[in-house]
Amino acid sequence: MIDFSPVSNKEKKYIDLWHDNNLTVDDLRAVTNESIDFLLELISDLEDADIVFEPKDDGADDPYAVEGEEHIGWTLGHLIAHVTASSEEGAAFSSLLARGVEEVAHRPRYETPWKDIDSKAKTVQRLEESRRMRLAYLDTWPDEPHYDNLRVSPSERFQEYFGDLNAPASFLAGLGHEVGHYDQIKEAKRQALAAKAQA
């Protein structure tokens, strides 16, 4: 797996990770499979009740959530819906940018309603579906991608944090967001299993 810590530590941008690691489309396919496989392995020993268990999260603060859900702990189903949506968004951006589509600004994002992911089978289905979609977006890249084509930054704050986002950097941004939630996913699992053991 790519080390995203230089980005999270604000030492580098996603485009730097691409440059520094000389990442190819095949590399992006490989890290996609690695992340999906990791998440599938993480939930492999869980049951349906674990997927919908609401963990305690004192730091929960989502100003974009629907009313009443701003401060809830995210279930494993909620987390998987969220991270897969962000990775697919990054992959969708990468396809547009790699093909030379200019002025890419609108966010091509859709997040599966998290309450719909209420079983282990649905969680596995969402992850495998996301794998297929991300790899398919990479298949749309031309043989000679337009690496100089950049996403239109929606704000100065966004630009300051993410920097320039070309096709590979956009893909990495989605995946980096997913990896950034690994610890939260592990903690949700830990709490679910602990609650089951005490029941």
CA nearest neighbour of 89 among 151, 19, 47, 143? 151
How many domains does the chain contain in total? 1
Statement: residue 64 has pLDDT above 80: no
pTM of the entire predicted model: 0.94
CA nearest neighbour of 96 among 106, 87, 85, 86? 106
pLDDT digits (tens, 9 = 90+) for 6-22: 999 999 999 999 999 99
Q: Which domain holds residue 174?
A: 5-198
Give me the helices (H) in the chain, please: 5-8, 14-21, 25-42, 48-52, 76-98, 120-139, 156-162, 167-180, 182-198
In the predicted model, what is the mean pLDDT of residues 139-165?
96
Task: Supply the pLDDT for residue 156.
Answer: 94
Task: Please provide the average confidence, as pLDDT, over all residues in the chain.
Answer: 95
Contact 97, 170 (CB under 8 A): yes
Query: What is the rounded distance in angstroms from the CA atom of residue 170 to the CA atom of residue 158?
Result: 13
Task: Supply the pLDDT for residue 67.
Answer: 78
Joined together, the tokens standing for residue 143 give 């043989």
Task: Supply the pLDDT for residue 19.
Answer: 96
Query: What is the rounded distance in angstroms from the CA atom of residue 170 to the CA atom of residue 155?
Result: 16
Contact 48, 118 (CB under 8 A): yes
In the predicted model, what is the mean pLDDT of residues 151-173?
95
pLDDT digits (tens, 9 = 90+) for 65-109: 777 787 789 999 999 999 999 999 999 999 999 999 999 888 999
Task: Supply the pLDDT for residue 125.
Answer: 98
User: What is the three-class DSSP state of 86?
Assistant: helix
What CATH code is carried by the domain that includes residue 27? Answer: 1.20.120.450
Contact 177, 130 (CB under 8 A): no
Say which residue the tokens 């337009």 belong to.
146
In the predicted model, what is the mean pLDDT of residues 46-53?
98
Statement: residue 191 has pLDDT above 90: yes
